[in-house]
Structure 1
Amino acid sequence: MMKDTASSSLEDLCIHINEKILDIKRCILLRDIGQDECRKSVVHKIQNKVILVHDLLNKMEIEVKQQEKLRDLLKDIQKAAEKEQKEAQHLLEHIPPYLPKPAQSCITVPAVKDEGQTEAVEPMHAKKSAKKTKIIKEAALITTEEFESVPTYMKGRLTYDQINAVVQQINKAVVDKYKILHQPLKFMSSSVRNLYHRFMEEETRDTKGEFFIVEADIKEFTQLKLDKRFHNILSILRHCQRVREVRTSGLIRYVIC
Protein backbone atom coordinates (compact mmCIF):
# COMPACT_ATOMS: atom_id res chain seq x y z
CA MET A 1 0.00 0.00 0.00
CA MET A 2 2.84 2.37 0.88
CA LYS A 3 4.54 1.46 -2.40
CA ASP A 4 1.47 2.42 -4.47
CA THR A 5 1.22 5.79 -2.69
CA ALA A 6 4.89 6.58 -3.34
CA SER A 7 4.51 5.58 -7.00
CA SER A 8 1.48 7.84 -7.46
CA SER A 9 3.26 10.82 -5.92
CA LEU A 10 6.26 10.25 -8.18
CA GLU A 11 4.03 10.13 -11.26
CA ASP A 12 2.36 13.39 -10.28
CA LEU A 13 5.74 15.03 -9.80
CA CYS A 14 6.87 13.85 -13.22
CA ILE A 15 3.71 15.23 -14.84
CA HIS A 16 4.21 18.59 -13.13
CA ILE A 17 7.86 18.78 -14.26
CA ASN A 18 6.93 17.85 -17.81
CA GLU A 19 4.27 20.61 -17.90
CA LYS A 20 6.85 23.17 -16.80
CA ILE A 21 9.30 21.94 -19.47
CA LEU A 22 6.50 22.28 -22.05
CA ASP A 23 5.80 25.86 -20.93
CA ILE A 24 9.50 26.69 -21.28
CA LYS A 25 9.59 25.22 -24.79
CA ARG A 26 6.57 27.34 -25.77
CA CYS A 27 8.24 30.48 -24.46
CA ILE A 28 11.43 29.69 -26.42
CA LEU A 29 9.32 29.03 -29.51
CA LEU A 30 7.53 32.32 -29.16
CA ARG A 31 10.83 34.11 -28.63
CA ASP A 32 12.19 32.59 -31.77
CA ILE A 33 9.05 33.54 -33.70
CA GLY A 34 9.48 37.14 -32.52
CA GLN A 35 12.95 37.20 -34.02
CA ASP A 36 11.63 36.03 -37.39
CA GLU A 37 11.39 39.06 -39.69
CA CYS A 38 8.37 37.77 -41.55
CA ARG A 39 6.40 37.37 -38.33
CA LYS A 40 7.41 40.62 -36.58
CA SER A 41 4.50 42.56 -38.11
CA VAL A 42 2.03 39.96 -36.86
CA VAL A 43 3.56 40.02 -33.38
CA HIS A 44 3.47 43.84 -33.43
CA LYS A 45 -0.23 43.80 -34.32
CA ILE A 46 -0.90 41.30 -31.56
CA GLN A 47 1.01 43.54 -29.13
CA ASN A 48 -1.11 46.55 -30.14
CA LYS A 49 -4.29 44.57 -29.71
CA VAL A 50 -3.11 43.40 -26.29
CA ILE A 51 -2.51 47.04 -25.32
CA LEU A 52 -6.02 47.96 -26.53
CA VAL A 53 -7.53 45.06 -24.62
CA HIS A 54 -5.58 46.14 -21.54
CA ASP A 55 -6.91 49.71 -21.85
CA LEU A 56 -10.42 48.38 -22.36
CA LEU A 57 -10.11 46.20 -19.27
CA ASN A 58 -8.95 49.23 -17.26
CA LYS A 59 -11.96 51.24 -18.45
CA MET A 60 -14.27 48.35 -17.64
CA GLU A 61 -12.75 48.11 -14.17
CA ILE A 62 -13.33 51.83 -13.60
CA GLU A 63 -16.93 51.52 -14.87
CA VAL A 64 -17.56 48.50 -12.64
CA LYS A 65 -16.31 50.45 -9.60
CA GLN A 66 -18.59 53.39 -10.48
CA GLN A 67 -21.54 51.03 -10.91
CA GLU A 68 -20.74 49.44 -7.54
CA LYS A 69 -20.72 52.91 -5.91
CA LEU A 70 -24.01 53.72 -7.63
CA ARG A 71 -25.45 50.40 -6.46
CA ASP A 72 -24.41 51.12 -2.87
CA LEU A 73 -25.91 54.62 -3.13
CA LEU A 74 -29.18 53.25 -4.48
CA LYS A 75 -29.29 50.73 -1.63
CA ASP A 76 -28.91 53.58 0.87
CA ILE A 77 -31.66 55.54 -0.87
CA GLN A 78 -33.89 52.47 -0.88
CA LYS A 79 -33.34 51.93 2.85
CA ALA A 80 -34.10 55.60 3.55
CA ALA A 81 -37.24 55.45 1.40
CA GLU A 82 -38.44 52.29 3.15
CA LYS A 83 -37.85 53.95 6.52
CA GLU A 84 -39.78 57.07 5.44
CA GLN A 85 -42.59 54.87 4.10
CA LYS A 86 -42.85 53.01 7.40
CA GLU A 87 -42.93 56.29 9.33
CA ALA A 88 -45.57 57.70 6.98
CA GLN A 89 -47.67 54.55 7.35
CA HIS A 90 -47.32 54.76 11.13
CA LEU A 91 -48.48 58.40 11.08
CA LEU A 92 -51.38 57.49 8.80
CA GLU A 93 -52.49 54.74 11.17
CA HIS A 94 -52.08 56.92 14.28
CA ILE A 95 -53.58 60.26 13.25
CA PRO A 96 -54.34 62.29 16.40
CA PRO A 97 -58.08 62.60 17.02
CA TYR A 98 -57.83 66.36 17.34
CA LEU A 99 -55.76 68.14 14.72
CA PRO A 100 -55.48 71.93 14.81
CA LYS A 101 -57.41 73.77 12.18
CA PRO A 102 -55.37 76.10 9.95
CA ALA A 103 -57.78 78.92 10.60
CA GLN A 104 -61.05 79.62 12.30
CA SER A 105 -63.78 77.64 10.67
CA CYS A 106 -67.27 78.73 10.02
CA ILE A 107 -70.48 76.87 9.32
CA THR A 108 -72.99 78.32 6.93
CA VAL A 109 -76.71 77.93 7.26
CA PRO A 110 -79.36 79.09 4.82
CA ALA A 111 -80.72 82.50 5.61
CA VAL A 112 -84.45 82.74 6.16
CA LYS A 113 -86.93 85.51 5.56
CA ASP A 114 -88.58 87.42 8.38
CA GLU A 115 -92.12 86.45 9.13
CA GLY A 116 -93.42 89.71 7.73
CA GLN A 117 -91.85 89.24 4.31
CA THR A 118 -93.99 87.99 1.45
CA GLU A 119 -92.93 86.90 -1.97
CA ALA A 120 -95.52 89.09 -3.68
CA VAL A 121 -94.21 92.46 -2.49
CA GLU A 122 -90.47 91.93 -1.93
CA PRO A 123 -88.16 93.41 -4.60
CA MET A 124 -85.73 91.38 -6.69
CA HIS A 125 -82.64 92.30 -4.62
CA ALA A 126 -84.42 91.12 -1.48
CA LYS A 127 -84.97 87.70 -3.07
CA LYS A 128 -81.27 87.44 -3.85
CA SER A 129 -80.24 88.43 -0.33
CA ALA A 130 -82.66 85.90 1.15
CA LYS A 131 -80.80 83.12 -0.66
CA LYS A 132 -77.46 84.10 0.89
CA THR A 133 -76.10 82.01 3.71
CA LYS A 134 -75.24 83.17 7.21
CA ILE A 135 -71.98 82.18 8.84
CA ILE A 136 -71.56 80.59 12.26
CA LYS A 137 -68.15 81.20 13.73
CA GLU A 138 -66.27 78.41 15.52
CA ALA A 139 -63.17 78.44 17.73
CA ALA A 140 -60.01 76.96 16.23
CA LEU A 141 -58.48 73.96 17.98
CA ILE A 142 -55.43 74.50 20.17
CA THR A 143 -52.13 73.77 18.42
CA THR A 144 -49.36 71.76 20.03
CA GLU A 145 -47.18 74.88 20.16
CA GLU A 146 -49.90 76.78 22.03
CA PHE A 147 -50.39 73.85 24.40
CA GLU A 148 -46.67 73.83 25.22
CA SER A 149 -46.75 77.58 25.86
CA VAL A 150 -49.55 77.31 28.47
CA PRO A 151 -48.12 77.71 32.00
CA THR A 152 -47.81 74.47 33.92
CA TYR A 153 -49.93 75.72 36.81
CA MET A 154 -52.83 76.23 34.35
CA LYS A 155 -52.50 72.88 32.60
CA GLY A 156 -52.00 70.69 35.65
CA ARG A 157 -52.70 67.16 34.42
CA LEU A 158 -54.84 68.26 31.48
CA THR A 159 -53.83 66.84 28.12
CA TYR A 160 -53.83 68.33 24.65
CA ASP A 161 -56.67 66.03 23.55
CA GLN A 162 -58.85 66.86 26.57
CA ILE A 163 -58.63 70.58 25.86
CA ASN A 164 -59.49 70.21 22.18
CA ALA A 165 -62.37 67.87 23.05
CA VAL A 166 -63.90 70.74 25.04
CA VAL A 167 -63.27 73.14 22.13
CA GLN A 168 -65.22 70.82 19.86
CA GLN A 169 -68.12 70.62 22.32
CA ILE A 170 -68.18 74.41 22.67
CA ASN A 171 -68.29 74.70 18.87
CA LYS A 172 -71.18 72.23 18.80
CA ALA A 173 -73.13 74.33 21.29
CA VAL A 174 -72.45 77.50 19.25
CA VAL A 175 -73.57 75.86 16.00
CA ASP A 176 -76.73 74.37 17.53
CA LYS A 177 -77.65 77.69 19.15
CA TYR A 178 -77.24 79.82 16.05
CA LYS A 179 -78.97 77.34 13.80
CA ILE A 180 -82.03 77.95 15.97
CA LEU A 181 -81.57 81.71 15.80
CA HIS A 182 -81.49 81.47 11.99
CA GLN A 183 -84.78 79.58 11.79
CA PRO A 184 -88.14 81.23 11.19
CA LEU A 185 -90.29 81.35 14.32
CA LYS A 186 -93.34 79.94 12.59
CA PHE A 187 -91.58 76.61 12.02
CA MET A 188 -90.36 76.23 15.63
CA SER A 189 -91.79 73.95 18.25
CA SER A 190 -92.74 75.47 21.59
CA SER A 191 -89.57 74.20 23.31
CA VAL A 192 -87.32 75.54 20.54
CA ARG A 193 -89.22 78.86 20.60
CA ASN A 194 -88.52 79.14 24.32
CA LEU A 195 -84.81 78.65 23.60
CA TYR A 196 -85.00 81.28 20.88
CA HIS A 197 -86.50 83.85 23.26
CA ARG A 198 -83.87 83.07 25.91
CA PHE A 199 -81.12 83.55 23.34
CA MET A 200 -82.54 86.94 22.38
CA GLU A 201 -82.85 88.05 26.01
CA GLU A 202 -79.18 87.22 26.61
CA GLU A 203 -78.02 89.53 23.80
CA THR A 204 -76.41 92.80 24.90
CA ARG A 205 -74.72 95.73 23.25
CA ASP A 206 -71.37 94.12 24.03
CA THR A 207 -72.32 90.90 22.23
CA LYS A 208 -73.97 92.45 19.18
CA GLY A 209 -72.55 90.79 16.07
CA GLU A 210 -70.62 88.27 18.18
CA PHE A 211 -71.10 84.53 18.61
CA PHE A 212 -71.38 83.46 22.24
CA ILE A 213 -72.86 80.83 24.51
CA VAL A 214 -73.67 80.62 28.20
CA GLU A 215 -73.50 77.69 30.59
CA ALA A 216 -77.17 76.91 29.94
CA ASP A 217 -76.31 76.34 26.26
CA ILE A 218 -73.51 73.96 27.21
CA LYS A 219 -75.94 71.98 29.36
CA GLU A 220 -78.55 72.05 26.60
CA PHE A 221 -76.43 71.00 23.63
CA THR A 222 -73.48 69.01 25.05
CA GLN A 223 -72.64 66.31 27.58
CA LEU A 224 -69.95 68.39 29.26
CA LYS A 225 -69.85 68.62 33.03
CA LEU A 226 -69.47 72.17 34.29
CA ASP A 227 -66.98 71.13 36.97
CA LYS A 228 -63.60 72.42 38.09
CA ARG A 229 -61.80 70.76 35.18
CA PHE A 230 -64.12 72.45 32.67
CA HIS A 231 -63.45 75.88 34.16
CA ASN A 232 -59.70 75.18 34.18
CA ILE A 233 -59.94 74.43 30.46
CA LEU A 234 -61.89 77.66 29.94
CA SER A 235 -59.00 79.52 31.58
CA ILE A 236 -56.63 77.93 29.08
CA LEU A 237 -58.93 78.85 26.18
CA ARG A 238 -58.99 82.45 27.38
CA HIS A 239 -55.20 82.36 27.65
CA CYS A 240 -54.97 81.09 24.06
CA GLN A 241 -57.54 83.68 22.90
CA ARG A 242 -60.17 81.19 21.80
CA VAL A 243 -62.90 82.67 24.00
CA ARG A 244 -63.40 85.77 26.09
CA GLU A 245 -65.90 86.49 28.81
CA VAL A 246 -68.59 89.16 28.90
CA ARG A 247 -70.27 89.48 32.31
CA THR A 248 -73.57 91.32 32.59
CA SER A 249 -76.27 91.00 35.25
CA GLY A 250 -74.51 88.01 36.81
CA LEU A 251 -74.50 86.05 33.53
CA ILE A 252 -71.22 84.93 31.97
CA ARG A 253 -71.19 84.92 28.18
CA TYR A 254 -68.39 83.00 26.47
CA VAL A 255 -67.68 84.88 23.23
CA ILE A 256 -65.85 83.09 20.40
CA CYS A 257 -62.69 84.99 19.46
Structure 2
Amino acid sequence: MMKDMASSDLEDLCFHINAKISNIKKFLLLRDIGEDQCRKSIFQKIGNEVIIVHELLNKMETEIKEQEKLKNLLKEMQKAAERDQNEAQHLLEHIPPYLPKPTQNCIAVPTVKHEEQKKVVKNEHVKKPAKETKLIKEVALITTEEFESVPTYMKGRLTYDQINAVVQEINKAVVGKYKIMYQPLKSMSVPARNLYHRFTEEENKDTKGMFFIVEADIKEFTQLKLDKRFHSILNILRHCQRLREVRSSKLIRYVIC
Protein backbone atom coordinates (compact mmCIF):
# COMPACT_ATOMS: atom_id res chain seq x y z
CA MET A 1 0.00 0.00 0.00
CA MET A 2 2.83 2.40 0.88
CA LYS A 3 4.56 1.57 -2.44
CA ASP A 4 1.39 2.48 -4.41
CA MET A 5 1.12 5.85 -2.62
CA ALA A 6 4.81 6.62 -3.29
CA SER A 7 4.39 5.66 -6.95
CA SER A 8 1.34 7.97 -7.28
CA ASP A 9 3.17 10.90 -5.70
CA LEU A 10 6.16 10.37 -8.03
CA GLU A 11 3.88 10.33 -11.07
CA ASP A 12 2.23 13.57 -9.98
CA LEU A 13 5.63 15.17 -9.47
CA CYS A 14 6.81 14.04 -12.91
CA PHE A 15 3.62 15.38 -14.52
CA HIS A 16 4.09 18.76 -12.78
CA ILE A 17 7.75 18.98 -13.90
CA ASN A 18 6.86 18.02 -17.47
CA ALA A 19 4.12 20.67 -17.53
CA LYS A 20 6.61 23.30 -16.38
CA ILE A 21 9.13 22.20 -19.07
CA SER A 22 6.35 22.38 -21.68
CA ASN A 23 5.44 25.91 -20.60
CA ILE A 24 9.09 26.97 -20.77
CA LYS A 25 9.31 25.61 -24.33
CA LYS A 26 6.19 27.55 -25.29
CA PHE A 27 7.61 30.75 -23.79
CA LEU A 28 10.88 30.28 -25.69
CA LEU A 29 8.96 29.64 -28.91
CA LEU A 30 6.83 32.73 -28.45
CA ARG A 31 9.93 34.77 -27.66
CA ASP A 32 11.54 33.66 -30.89
CA ILE A 33 8.35 34.42 -32.83
CA GLY A 34 8.10 37.86 -31.20
CA GLU A 35 11.55 38.75 -32.57
CA ASP A 36 10.31 38.15 -36.11
CA GLN A 37 9.87 41.55 -37.81
CA CYS A 38 6.92 40.32 -39.84
CA ARG A 39 4.92 39.51 -36.72
CA LYS A 40 5.78 42.55 -34.57
CA SER A 41 2.92 44.65 -35.96
CA ILE A 42 0.48 41.81 -35.27
CA PHE A 43 1.76 41.47 -31.70
CA GLN A 44 1.37 45.25 -31.22
CA LYS A 45 -2.24 45.07 -32.35
CA ILE A 46 -2.79 42.12 -30.05
CA GLY A 47 -1.18 44.12 -27.22
CA ASN A 48 -3.50 47.05 -27.91
CA GLU A 49 -6.51 44.74 -27.90
CA VAL A 50 -5.34 43.23 -24.61
CA ILE A 51 -5.18 46.72 -23.10
CA ILE A 52 -8.70 47.50 -24.34
CA VAL A 53 -9.98 44.19 -22.98
CA HIS A 54 -8.26 44.93 -19.66
CA GLU A 55 -9.99 48.34 -19.47
CA LEU A 56 -13.32 46.72 -20.28
CA LEU A 57 -12.74 44.16 -17.55
CA ASN A 58 -12.01 46.97 -15.08
CA LYS A 59 -15.23 48.71 -16.08
CA MET A 60 -17.15 45.48 -15.74
CA GLU A 61 -15.64 44.91 -12.31
CA THR A 62 -16.69 48.44 -11.24
CA GLU A 63 -20.20 47.89 -12.60
CA ILE A 64 -20.46 44.55 -10.83
CA LYS A 65 -19.49 46.21 -7.54
CA GLU A 66 -22.15 48.92 -8.08
CA GLN A 67 -24.73 46.26 -8.86
CA GLU A 68 -23.77 44.39 -5.68
CA LYS A 69 -24.22 47.59 -3.67
CA LEU A 70 -27.60 48.16 -5.33
CA LYS A 71 -28.59 44.57 -4.63
CA ASN A 72 -27.67 44.92 -0.96
CA LEU A 73 -29.59 48.21 -0.78
CA LEU A 74 -32.64 46.57 -2.33
CA LYS A 75 -32.39 43.74 0.19
CA GLU A 76 -32.38 46.27 3.04
CA MET A 77 -35.36 48.08 1.49
CA GLN A 78 -37.18 44.76 1.16
CA LYS A 79 -36.51 43.94 4.81
CA ALA A 80 -37.72 47.42 5.86
CA ALA A 81 -40.86 47.03 3.73
CA GLU A 82 -41.53 43.62 5.28
CA ARG A 83 -41.11 45.10 8.77
CA ASP A 84 -43.51 47.95 7.91
CA GLN A 85 -45.98 45.46 6.46
CA ASN A 86 -45.81 43.32 9.60
CA GLU A 87 -46.28 46.39 11.81
CA ALA A 88 -49.21 47.57 9.69
CA GLN A 89 -50.79 44.11 9.87
CA HIS A 90 -50.30 44.09 13.65
CA LEU A 91 -51.92 47.53 13.94
CA LEU A 92 -54.80 46.39 11.73
CA GLU A 93 -55.38 43.36 13.94
CA HIS A 94 -55.11 45.39 17.17
CA ILE A 95 -57.03 48.58 16.43
CA PRO A 96 -57.79 50.24 19.80
CA PRO A 97 -61.49 50.62 20.53
CA TYR A 98 -61.09 54.32 21.22
CA LEU A 99 -59.63 56.55 18.52
CA PRO A 100 -59.53 60.36 18.41
CA LYS A 101 -62.02 62.03 16.12
CA PRO A 102 -60.19 63.27 13.00
CA THR A 103 -61.61 66.76 12.58
CA GLN A 104 -64.44 68.00 14.76
CA ASN A 105 -65.62 67.28 18.26
CA CYS A 106 -69.07 68.78 18.10
CA ILE A 107 -72.46 67.22 17.48
CA ALA A 108 -75.43 68.93 15.90
CA VAL A 109 -78.69 69.17 17.81
CA PRO A 110 -81.80 70.42 16.03
CA THR A 111 -83.68 72.99 18.05
CA VAL A 112 -86.99 74.78 17.49
CA LYS A 113 -86.65 78.47 16.68
CA HIS A 114 -89.00 80.58 18.79
CA GLU A 115 -91.15 82.71 16.49
CA GLU A 116 -94.80 83.50 16.21
CA GLN A 117 -96.83 81.03 14.20
CA LYS A 118 -98.81 82.65 11.41
CA LYS A 119 -102.33 81.47 10.67
CA VAL A 120 -103.88 81.28 7.25
CA VAL A 121 -107.42 82.70 7.43
CA LYS A 122 -109.17 80.33 5.03
CA ASN A 123 -107.65 76.99 5.98
CA GLU A 124 -106.62 78.01 9.52
CA HIS A 125 -103.34 76.26 8.68
CA VAL A 126 -100.57 76.60 11.27
CA LYS A 127 -97.14 77.16 9.77
CA LYS A 128 -94.49 74.70 11.00
CA PRO A 129 -91.82 76.31 13.15
CA ALA A 130 -88.48 76.78 11.42
CA LYS A 131 -85.62 74.67 12.75
CA GLU A 132 -82.01 75.65 13.33
CA THR A 133 -79.01 73.58 14.28
CA LYS A 134 -76.90 74.19 17.34
CA LEU A 135 -73.62 72.45 18.05
CA ILE A 136 -72.57 70.75 21.25
CA LYS A 137 -68.85 70.74 21.81
CA GLU A 138 -67.45 67.43 23.04
CA VAL A 139 -64.12 66.45 24.58
CA ALA A 140 -61.77 65.10 21.93
CA LEU A 141 -60.29 61.70 22.69
CA ILE A 142 -56.59 61.72 23.52
CA THR A 143 -54.14 60.31 21.00
CA THR A 144 -51.52 57.65 21.69
CA GLU A 145 -48.79 60.30 21.30
CA GLU A 146 -50.43 62.46 23.97
CA PHE A 147 -50.83 59.46 26.24
CA GLU A 148 -47.11 58.68 25.92
CA SER A 149 -46.25 62.30 26.76
CA VAL A 150 -48.17 62.21 30.07
CA PRO A 151 -45.74 61.93 33.01
CA THR A 152 -45.54 58.48 34.57
CA TYR A 153 -46.40 59.76 38.05
CA MET A 154 -49.63 61.19 36.63
CA LYS A 155 -50.64 58.07 34.67
CA GLY A 156 -49.85 55.51 37.33
CA ARG A 157 -51.49 52.28 36.20
CA LEU A 158 -54.09 53.98 34.03
CA THR A 159 -54.26 52.79 30.44
CA TYR A 160 -55.00 54.62 27.20
CA ASP A 161 -58.35 52.84 26.83
CA GLN A 162 -59.43 53.62 30.39
CA ILE A 163 -58.83 57.33 29.90
CA ASN A 164 -60.75 57.52 26.64
CA ALA A 165 -63.57 55.47 28.13
CA VAL A 166 -63.99 58.22 30.76
CA VAL A 167 -63.82 60.85 27.99
CA GLN A 168 -66.76 59.18 26.29
CA GLU A 169 -68.75 59.15 29.51
CA ILE A 170 -67.99 62.84 30.07
CA ASN A 171 -69.26 63.53 26.56
CA LYS A 172 -72.50 61.74 27.44
CA ALA A 173 -72.96 64.20 30.30
CA VAL A 174 -72.14 67.17 28.05
CA VAL A 175 -74.61 66.07 25.37
CA GLY A 176 -77.29 65.22 27.94
CA LYS A 177 -76.99 68.63 29.56
CA TYR A 178 -77.01 70.76 26.41
CA LYS A 179 -79.80 68.84 24.72
CA ILE A 180 -81.95 70.03 27.64
CA MET A 181 -80.47 73.54 27.44
CA TYR A 182 -81.46 73.78 23.76
CA GLN A 183 -85.08 72.61 24.29
CA PRO A 184 -87.96 75.08 24.47
CA LEU A 185 -89.16 75.43 28.04
CA LYS A 186 -92.77 74.66 27.08
CA SER A 187 -91.81 71.24 25.72
CA MET A 188 -89.83 70.20 28.82
CA SER A 189 -90.96 67.71 31.42
CA VAL A 190 -90.84 68.73 35.07
CA PRO A 191 -87.54 66.88 35.80
CA ALA A 192 -85.94 68.36 32.68
CA ARG A 193 -87.14 71.83 33.65
CA ASN A 194 -85.61 71.44 37.11
CA LEU A 195 -82.31 70.44 35.52
CA TYR A 196 -82.55 73.40 33.14
CA HIS A 197 -82.91 75.84 36.04
CA ARG A 198 -79.92 74.26 37.80
CA PHE A 199 -77.85 74.54 34.61
CA THR A 200 -78.62 78.24 34.23
CA GLU A 201 -77.89 78.96 37.90
CA GLU A 202 -74.45 77.35 37.54
CA GLU A 203 -73.44 79.71 34.74
CA ASN A 204 -71.45 82.85 35.44
CA LYS A 205 -69.45 85.45 33.57
CA ASP A 206 -66.42 83.14 33.34
CA THR A 207 -68.39 80.42 31.53
CA LYS A 208 -70.35 82.63 29.14
CA GLY A 209 -70.40 81.06 25.66
CA MET A 210 -68.54 77.97 26.88
CA PHE A 211 -69.54 74.35 27.31
CA PHE A 212 -69.03 72.95 30.79
CA ILE A 213 -70.32 70.35 33.20
CA VAL A 214 -70.17 69.82 36.95
CA GLU A 215 -70.00 66.66 39.01
CA ALA A 216 -73.78 66.66 39.42
CA ASP A 217 -74.10 66.34 35.63
CA ILE A 218 -71.78 63.33 35.60
CA LYS A 219 -73.89 61.68 38.28
CA GLU A 220 -77.08 62.56 36.39
CA PHE A 221 -76.13 61.28 32.94
CA THR A 222 -73.47 58.61 33.53
CA GLN A 223 -72.60 55.68 35.77
CA LEU A 224 -69.10 56.97 36.52
CA LYS A 225 -67.82 56.81 40.08
CA LEU A 226 -66.33 60.12 41.17
CA ASP A 227 -63.46 58.42 42.99
CA LYS A 228 -59.71 58.93 43.14
CA ARG A 229 -59.24 57.17 39.79
CA PHE A 230 -61.73 59.50 38.13
CA HIS A 231 -59.96 62.60 39.45
CA SER A 232 -56.61 61.21 38.29
CA ILE A 233 -58.05 60.98 34.79
CA LEU A 234 -59.33 64.55 35.08
CA ASN A 235 -55.76 65.64 35.88
CA ILE A 236 -54.56 63.90 32.72
CA LEU A 237 -57.29 65.57 30.65
CA ARG A 238 -56.27 68.95 32.03
CA HIS A 239 -52.64 68.12 31.22
CA CYS A 240 -53.67 67.25 27.64
CA GLN A 241 -55.67 70.51 27.45
CA ARG A 242 -59.03 68.79 27.05
CA LEU A 243 -60.59 70.38 30.14
CA ARG A 244 -59.95 73.31 32.41
CA GLU A 245 -61.49 74.20 35.75
CA VAL A 246 -63.47 77.28 36.68
CA ARG A 247 -64.09 77.49 40.44
CA SER A 248 -66.49 79.77 42.26
CA SER A 249 -69.11 79.49 45.02
CA LYS A 250 -67.67 76.10 46.06
CA LEU A 251 -68.54 74.71 42.61
CA ILE A 252 -66.04 73.22 40.18
CA ARG A 253 -66.97 73.66 36.54
CA TYR A 254 -65.15 71.49 33.98
CA VAL A 255 -64.95 73.61 30.83
CA ILE A 256 -64.45 71.86 27.48
CA CYS A 257 -61.33 73.20 25.75
- TM-score normalized with structure 2 length: 0.70
Which consecutive residues of structure 1, in runs of 5 or more, have no partner in the other structure?
122-126
The residue number in structure 1 matching 2:225 is: 225
Amino acid in the other structure paired with 2:31: R
After superposition, the Cα gap between the structure-2 partners of 1:15 and 1:246, relative to the gap in structure 1 and judged at 3 Å, is closer
**Is the contact between residue 212 and residue 256 of structure 2 (CA under 8 Å) also seen in structure 1?**
yes
1:80 is displaced (CA, Å) by: 3.7
Amino acid in the other structure paired with 2:44: H
Following superposition of structure 1 onto structure 2, how do residues 1-257 of structure 1 map, counting pairs within 5 Å? Answer: 9-99=9-99, 105-114=105-114, 117=117, 130-142=130-142, 143-144=146-147, 147-148=150-151, 152=153, 155=154, 157=156, 159=158, 161=160, 162-183=162-183, 193-202=189-198, 203-204=200-201, 206=204, 209-234=209-234, 237=237, 240=241, 242-245=243-246, 254-257=254-257
Query: Structure 2 CA distance, aligned partners of 1:4 and 1:184?
Result: 119
Task: Please tell me the root mean square deviation across aligned C-alpha atoms, in Å.
Answer: 4.0
Q: Could you say what secondary structure the match of 1:109 adopts?
A: strand
**Is the contact between residue 140 and residue 242 of structure 1 (CA under 8 Å) also seen in structure 2?**
no
The residue number in structure 2 matching 1:124 is: none
Deviations 1:104-146 (A, max 9, x none): 711112232448545869xxxxx9x945421001123453377
Which consecutive residues of structure 2, in runs of 5 or more, have no partner in the other structure?
122-127
After superposition, the Cα gap between the structure-2 partners of 1:4 and 1:238, relative to the gap in structure 1 and judged at 3 Å, is closer
1:22 is displaced (CA, Å) by: 2.5
Deviations 1:7-28 (A, max 9, x none): 5555444444333333222222
Query: Structure 1 CA distance, aligned partners of 2:107 and 2:147?
Result: 24
Identical aligned residues as a percent? 64
**Is the contact between residue 111 and residue 130 of structure 1 (CA under 8 Å) also seen in structure 2?**
no
Query: Structure 2 CA distance, aligned partners of 1:82 and 1:119?
Result: 72
After superposition, the Cα gap between the structure-2 partners of 1:15 and 1:120, relative to the gap in structure 1 and judged at 3 Å, is farther
- TM-score normalized with structure 1 length: 0.70
Amino acid in the other structure paired with 2:107: I
Query: Structure 2 CA distance, aligned partners of 1:252 and 1:10?
Result: 107
Aligned length: 243
After superposition, the Cα gap between the structure-2 partners of 1:19 and 1:227, relative to the gap in structure 1 and judged at 3 Å, is closer
1:159 is displaced (CA, Å) by: 2.0
